[in-house]
Structure 1
């Protein structure tokens, strides 16, 4: 009975947990609830992925109403991969959270933070698992509203401005999304993804469908921070509490990329999107611009969190590059990079969060010599930084290998060169941190700093280890990503 209801439990359990945390409003109760739910979430998501790999897509009708008339939760290899990604990051972050949250937030805000985390988790998991376009919008808003609050809880007053900026742009993105869905509903008479994909074939030549694609593309692009619609992201990551930064950087944009993939390939279809419209050229230009311009901006940042935030914009460029290439290797590169970037950037932001807890700042000059005082933490930063660059033996190399192979396969050999060239820019900004942290004399403030506690080091190194283990053996991550890419290219839902 429980196994039959796993799709619903994946979303219901964190939602109920968020309600309990809000009602009790006690830090010492909220964190254990969030931890337990995060651990349960990873068990459910892995079980769903195993079922899908063994037996194909799972359809779960909500409320006893058969699809397409009722809301359907539908799990296939594509979104099962995303469910595992989100759940893994949540489960790794929670042991890290109590010390970091206690150091950065007032006690009366801590239970509220865990409430928002669980709501955010609910929204992200719901967006991934639902088979209904409007239901995806509801979960999109749940995740967005909780994100605004998590960012605003940052101790720097600029966190309020960052949250407000994200709210404005996020609202615009959500409005564009719901207009696009409304147009599709008007033309197809359904909100169910599978039903919509079948009916859209008969009306795809209409201007309304073309307008729907345009609205959905821009709306989702705002959510995933596709260059140049990324302006909300740097401040949001820089001024949010460290745990919020880790979670949002590792998951939120990845789920938005999933929505992008779902609409482009499963609903509209690759033939309509790429053969009849110039979206390939648009995506490739914007992706390359993100890879280079965001990386160059990152080089000149004096704040480590802002530097890593602009790096995330560049890495999103790699993800959308594979969507633009739109062949098996390119799409596999995009999907595997969702996981690879999550563990890499999660490790980097965790290391920075540990430094913030000890030093109280994250500007570069204030971290001179920190590597000598926090060698274990900063060693993790260096290894994760190598993965961000794409050094062989790390997950970053796996992603770029598939993307370069996809570019060669499509005849765009110049893109392969640009992928490698952009990686050298990452060498520069990661190298700046390494030079300041390891090769400069510790400042007076840093000289008395101790290594981070194990509760922060262990989760950080779990993600660091994942960056290496899945870089040396990518059979599972790349294998599942390739199956997901095949399903998308075939238009299977």
Structure 2
């Protein structure tokens, strides 16, 4: 069994998906998703230990050797997302039993858990595949199941959000497929490592340039890079709370990893960031995303929409680090990817708890509840300070690393954008604090039910993790640094 360990994180949730439907039981489906997530996490931890120190594991699907067969690769560049995705899924499973029970009826709950298993399998497949067409297949598995998850939201607006996500996501996926087809036409191979070697001999080919543009533009849609972000606010805000908790920490983060995988280890940093103007374009779009996303978040009246627009800005920070194409910059981008995933999932989980207790997450509904629900709003404040970048939170560590990397390259305008965006984050987090502690409570708001212990435990695991990574950033910093070194070394 240990020889098949690299494929197990994908196979376990993939096998759990049909069982969730066949058993037709809410409890059984929840238990299957929990076991699939925990099993995938256990396998990911074992794999991370095996590749520590710069080693790489390669697994040939069906015994067909690369480059003719599909290959899974476990190395330092994908270890962070390989650990992050099942870890968030496991916390979401603990959190989601009561949340999904309150928002989804018994008949649709098994379908939701089926889609969660498929999304988990697709995201993990994207994380480990070493084949470009196989990456497209896993991208579609995760995307199609995500569209269904968003559509299961409690309001009719969820259908519109899911349809918008489907249309925009399909355009992005089509761009990726066209780019992969062009790369195959130029080289005659789909294996990432083999593709990288063959592309080195065809520099200057116009079809190659087109392939780079199509693939990276399509992935930018999946990353929700401004101005290709239109699907994200509605998808995150209208999806069921457990789905928002999971997707906000994983979906765009895996897309960012795949972008890095193509840009650095397949096409090469020299072609993408030097020959083509991706460095300048990336930094410009990152600055606009930081400022526009944070500014729009300041005017939101719904907590989930506020958090969704905040994600647009936070993705800008990650893109700014990656856009530098330096070891310090990519490491800072990866570090913020990890830290933001933990922080934002904690905030969406807390929003789901408020939705369960109050029936609404509009800021007006939160008036005066800070003293009546102190632990809930304490979680919002601590995680919110991470978005701002206040020490000793994880957000401060990654923003400090990003600013240091930018200063090292003399990118003062981007540093100014980071600082202004952080001040705007203080404004929109402050609006939540002001509503909870400085407004009079609404009549009848005192009788909210007590929060389920499982949801509270899941929220505080994430909140405390964000504080711990701020006090002792050795683990995420080590994973991010190793990933940056592997990506820039081009070891695919």
Same fold (TM over 0.5): yes
Task: Tell whether the 8 Å contact from 1:181 to 1:212 is kept in structure 2 after alignment.
Answer: yes
- Aligned residue number for residue 190 of structure 1: 189
CA deviation after TM superposition for structure 1 residue 491, in Å? 1.2
1:255 paired residue number: 254
Hey, what does 1:102 align to over in structure 2?
101
* In 1: Cα distance, 2:36 partner to 2:370 partner: 35
What is aligned with 1:486? 485
2:418 corresponding residue in structure 1? 419
**1:436 corresponds to 2:435:** yes
Give the match for residue 320 of structure 1.
319
Calculate the aligned-residue CA RMSD, in Å: 1.0
| Residue 116 (1) aligns with residue 90 (2) | no
Deviation digits for residues 373-411 of structure 1 (CA, Å, limit 9, x no counterpart) = 221111111100000110011110111111111111112
Is contact 2:71-2:130 (8 Å) kept? yes
The CA distance in 2 between the partners of 1:157 and 1:22, in whole Å, is 24
CA distance 1:205–1:27, shift in 2 (3 Å): same
Is 1:310 the counterpart of 2:288? The answer is no
Separation in structure 1 between the aligned mates of residue 457 and residue 370 of structure 2, nearest angstrom: 17
Give the TM-score of the pair, scaled to structure 1: 0.98
* Mapped partners of 1:460, 1:432: distance in 2: 21
Deviates further, 20-29 or 337-346: 20-29
DSSP 3-state at the match of 2:413:
helix
Matched residue of 1:77: which SS?
coil
Distance in 2 separating the partners of 1:91 and 1:3: 22
- In structure 2, the partner of 1:50 is 49
Structure 1 residue 27 displacement after superposition: 0.6
Asked if 1:10 is matched to 2:9, the reply is yes
CA contact (8 A) 1:373 1:446 kept: no
Q: Is the 8 A contact 1:374 1:452 kept in 2?
A: no
Deviation track 1:231-279 (CA, whole Å, cap 9, x = no partner) reads 0110111111000111110000000000110011001111111221111
Distance 1:170 1:417 in 2: 32
Distance 1:38 1:377 in 2: 26
The Cα offsets for residues 151-197 of structure 1, whole Å up to 9 and x where unpaired, read as 00011110000000000000000000000000001111111001001
Q: Report the Cα offset of residue 413 of structure 1.
A: 2.7
Report the Cα distance in structure 2 between the residues aligned to 1:90 and 1:447, rounded to whole angstroms: 33
Q: Which residue of 2 aligns with 1:236?
A: 235
Encode CA deviations 1:44-102: one digit per residue, 9 max, x unaligned. 11111111114601000000100110000011111121110101101111111111001
TM-score, structure 2 normalization? 0.99
Question: More displaced, 19-28 or 355-364?
Answer: 19-28
- Residues 260 and 55 of structure 1, relative CA distance in 2, 3 Å threshold: closer
Secondary structure class of the residue paired with 1:203: coil
8 A Cα contact 2:79 2:479, kept in partner: no
d(CA) in 1 for partners of 2:122, 2:368: 40
**Helix, strand or coil: the match of 2:177?**
helix
Match of 1:448 in 2: 447
Structure 1 runs (4+) greater than 4 angstroms displaced: none
Partner of 1:84: 83
1:38 aligns with 2:48: no
- 1:139 is paired with a residue whose SS is helix
Q: Is the 8 A contact 2:9 2:41 kept in 1?
A: no
1:267 aligns with 2:266: yes
Match of 1:409 in 2: 408
1:334 maps to which residue? 333
Q: Distance in 2 between matches of 1:193 and 1:433?
A: 46
Could you tell me which runs of 5 or more consecutive residues in structure 1 were left unpaired when the two chains were aligned. Answer: none
Does the 8 Å contact 2:265/2:487 carry over to 1? yes
SS in structure 1 at match of 2:107: helix
Residue 8 of structure 1: how far off its partner (Å) = 1.0
Residue 14 of structure 1 deviates from its aligned partner by 0.3
Alpha-carbon offset, residue 417 of structure 1 = 2.8
Please give the per-residue CA displacement for 1:264-307, whole angstroms capped at 9, x wherever unaligned: 10011111112211111100110000000111000001111001
Match of 1:391 in 2: 390
Q: Say if 1:173 and 1:222, in contact at 8 Å, map to a contact too.
A: yes
Query: How far apart, CA to CA, are the structure 1 residues paired with 2:353 and 2:440?
Result: 20
**Counterpart Cα distance in 2 of 1:224 and 1:319:** 10
